[in-house]
C-alpha cells in the first residue's frame, strides 16, 4: 500500500514537472523576439529588408531593463512586418566578435543584410517609431487620399509643399530629409488640393506634432540652416521630462537648456504652473525640461547647483557653460522670468566652480584650479602640459607616479615647460577653453607662443610622455643639464638618451 502511495506521489510530481515544462515551452514560443545563433544568423537576417538585432549579455543590467520594452516593440511591429531579433554574446562569442560588439546592449539595424548603427531610444514607443521610419523612404509622396492619415502617422511629421518653380527649396528639403530621417517622418507634395487643404502658400513646410500647438508653419524661401533650425527647435515639447532617451535631442537643438529639478509629483505640478508661462514666453530661445531628482539629482552638480530641491538652472551643453538660479530664492513665475530674461540678454555671467588657488604650489606637478587656469595655461612664454583627472578614476591613480616623475624631471625648467594637473570634478573649464573633457585622464599640451592645443594620444609610459614633449613643445630643453642629482630617496631620472630607446606600448 505504501509503495502504491509513493508511486502516486511520484507520478503526480512528474506530471506537475511536465506541466511546468510545457508552460515554459509555450512561454518561450510566445516571444516575438527571434533568438539568433551563428548557424541561423545569415539565413534569417540576409533575406529581411529590415530587421533590428540586439546583441546582449544575460548579466547586463541595461539589457534586463531593455528586455520588456524590446519584447513590446517586437509584438507591435509584427503588423508592419518588421522583425526584432537578439544574440546572446555570452553564448555566441564568435558571432559578436565578427560584428565588433564592444558593449551591451548594442543594437544594429540590418537592411538586406547590411548593418548600420541604431540611433533610437530604448523605450518601446521609441523603438517602434524609429523602425517605422527606417521602413519608409526618406520622403513619402503625399496626395489628397493619404494626407490626413500621413500627417498623423507619427508624433512628428514634416511635410513640404512645393510648386514647379520651387526647385531650390525642394532640393534643400530633400537633403534635410535624408539627414534627419532617423528622427522624423518626411512627406512632400505639389498637389493643389493638398496645398489648399493645408492652407499654405508654397514653398512651405509644416511640422505636424501630437503635442503643444499641434503644428508649426514655415512659409517662403529658406536656407538649409533655417529649415534645420525650424524643425529641430519646434520638434521639442514646451515642457517635457528629460532622460537618457531624449537628452541628445535637446542638445542637438542648439538651444540653452533650462532644468527644473523636482523630487515628488506634487512639487512637479506646482513648478509646472509657475514656469509654464515663462516657457511659453521664451519658446524658441530656451528649452525647458523637468528632471526627476530622485533619479538624476547628481546632474545638479553639472550646473553648479546643490542637491536640494526644488532647483532651477540653465546650461549651454555645447559650451559647458552653467547658470544656476540662486537656491536661496523661491521659484516663482516672476523670479524665473526675471532670471531667464537676464540670461537671454547676456546679463548673467556663467558660474565657474573652482577650488581655492593653492597658497604654495612648488610640488613637482603644478596644481591648476579654475581661478588660475587662464593665467597659467594661456601664456606666451611657457609650454604647459595638463592632466585633467578625477580622484576616483582608476587609470588616473595608475598614471599618478609616472606623472609625478615627469614633473620632477621638468621641475628645473618649469619656466619653459610646466607639468600641471587639474581635478575636473572640482574645477570647471573657463569660457576661453573651447573644449570639453570627455574622459579621464585627458592630457593636453598648451604650446607657448600661439597657445595651440595638442592632444596627447600615446601610451601612459614615462618615455612616451617625454617623447611627446620633445616633439611638440615650442620650447626645447636639455634634460641632462637641467635634471638635478637624484637624492637617495628618489628614483634617478632617465637621461634624454634613455628616453629615445625603443619601448613597448601598453
Q: Are 402 and 443 in contact (CB under 8 A)?
A: no
Prior bond to 441 cis, omega within 30? yes
Element spanning 135, H or E: helix 124-135
Contact 429/321 with Cβ under 8 angstroms? no
Beta-carbon count within 10 A of 75 CB: 16
Alpha helices in 282-362 (DSSP H): 293-296, 333-344
Residue 442's closest CA among 367, 384, 385, 387?
Answer: 387
In angstroms, the CA 315 to CA 151 distance is: 34
Q: Is the dihedral of CA 383, 388, 391, 396 positive or negative?
A: negative
Cell 521630462 locates to: 241
Q: Cα 439–442–447 angle (5° rounding)? A: 145
User: What span, in angstroms and rounded, lies between the C-alpha atoms of 200 and 112?
Assistant: 39
**Grid-cell match 530622485, residue found:** 294
Neighbours of 418 (CB within 10 A): 23
Task: For residue 167, give the 3-state DSSP assignment.
Answer: helix
Closest of 324, 257, 320 to residue 288, by C-alpha: 257
DSSP bridge pairs for 86: 35, 54
**CB neighbourhood size of 97 (10 A):** 11
CA distances from 444 to 173, 383, 447, 472, 505 (A): 41, 11, 10, 11, 19
How many angstroms separate the CA atoms of 160 and 185, rounded? 11
Q: Provide the 10 A C-beta neighbour count for residue 291.
A: 21
Active-site amino acid positions: 60, 63, 393, 396
In this structure, what are the phi and psi dihedrals at residue 476, rounded to the nearest 5 degrees? Answer: -105, 135
Amino acid at each position: 500500500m505504501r509503495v502504491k502511495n509513493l508511486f502516486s506521489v511520484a507520478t503526480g510530481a512528474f506530471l506537475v514537472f511536465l506541466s511546468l515544462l510545457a508552460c515554459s515551452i509555450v512561454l518561450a514560443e510566445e516571444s516575438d523576439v527571434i533568438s539568433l545563433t551563428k548557424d541561423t544568423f545569415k539565413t534569417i537576417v540576409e533575406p529581411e529588408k529590415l530587421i533590428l538585432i540586439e546583441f546582449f549579455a544575460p548579466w547586463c543590467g541595461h539589457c534586463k531593463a531593455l528586455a520588456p520594452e524590446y519584447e513590446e516593440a517586437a509584438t507591435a511591429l509584427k503588423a508592419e512586418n518588421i522583425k526584432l531579433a537578439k544574440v546572446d554574446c555570452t553564448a555566441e562569442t564568435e558571432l559578436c566578435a565578427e560584428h565588433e560588439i564592444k558593449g551591451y546592449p548594442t543594437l544594429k539595424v540590418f537592411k538586406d543584410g547590411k548593418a548600420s548603427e541604431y540611433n533610437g531610444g530604448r523605450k518601446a514607443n521609441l523603438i517602434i517609431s524609429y523602425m517605422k521610419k527606417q521602413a519608409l523612404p526618406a520622403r513619402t509622396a503625399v496626395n489628397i487620399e493619404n494626407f490626413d492619415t500621413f500627417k498623423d502617422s507619427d508624433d512628428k511629421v514634416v511635410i513640404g509643399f512645393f510648386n514647379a518653380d520651387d526647385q531650390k527649396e525642394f532640393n534643400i528639403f530633400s537633403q534635410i530629409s535624408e539627414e534627419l530621417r532617423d528622427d522624423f517622418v518626411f512627406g512632400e507634395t505639389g498637389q493643389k488640393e493638398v496645398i489648399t487643404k493645408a492652407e499654405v502658400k508654397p514653398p512651405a513646410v509644416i511640422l505636424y506634432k501630437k503635442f503643444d500647438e499641434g503644428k508649426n508653419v514655415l512659409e517662403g524661401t529658406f536656407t538649409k540652416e533655417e529649415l534645420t533650425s525650424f524643425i529641430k527647435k519646434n520638434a521639442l515639447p514646451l515642457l517635457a521630462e528629460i532622460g537618457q532617451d531624449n537628452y541628445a535631442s535637446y542638445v542637438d537643438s542648439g538651444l540653452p537648456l533650462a532644468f527644473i529639478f523636482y523630487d515628488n509629483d506634487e512639487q512637479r505640478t506646482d513648478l509646472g504652473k509657475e514656469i509654464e508661462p515663462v516657457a511659453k514666453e521664451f519658446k524658441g530661445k530656451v528649452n525647458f525640461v523637468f528632471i526627476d531628482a530622485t533619479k538624476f539629482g547628481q546632474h545638479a552638480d553639472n550646473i553648479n547647483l546643490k542637491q536640494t530641491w526644488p532647483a532651477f538652472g540653465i546650461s549651454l551643453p555645447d559650451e559647458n557653460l552653467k547658470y544656476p538660479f540662486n537656491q536661496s530664492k523661491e521659484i516663482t513665475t516672476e523670479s524665473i522670468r526675471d532670471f531667464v530674461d537676464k540670461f537671454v540678454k547676456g546679463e548673467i555671467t556663467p558660474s565657474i566652480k573652482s577650488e581655492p588657488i593653492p597658497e604654495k604650489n612648488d610640488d613637482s606637478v603644478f596644481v591648476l584650479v579654475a581661478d588660475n587656469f587662464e593665467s597659467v595655461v594661456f601664456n606666451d612664454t611657457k609650454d604647459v602640459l595638463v592632466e585633467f583627472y578625477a580622484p576616483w578614476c582608476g587609470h588616473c591613480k595608475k598614471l599618478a607616479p609616472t606623472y609625478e616623475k615627469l614633473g620632477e624631471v621638468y621641475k628645473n625648467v618649469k619656466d619653459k615647460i610646466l607639468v600641471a594637473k587639474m581635478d575636473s570634478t572640482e574645477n570647471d573649464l573657463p569660457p576661453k577653453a573651447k573644449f570639453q573633457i570627455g574622459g579621464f585622464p585627458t592630457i593636453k599640451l598648451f604650446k607657448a607662443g600661439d597657445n595651440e592645443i595638442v592632444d596627447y594620444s600615446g601610451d601612459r609610459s614615462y618615455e612616451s610622455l617625454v617623447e611627446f614633449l620633445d616633439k611638440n613643445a615650442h620650447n626645447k630643453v636639455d634634460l641632462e643639464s637641467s635634471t638635478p642629482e637624484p637624492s637617495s630617496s628618489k628614483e634617478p631620472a632617465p637621461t634624454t638618451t634613455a628616453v629615445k630607446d625603443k619601448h613597448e606600448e601598453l
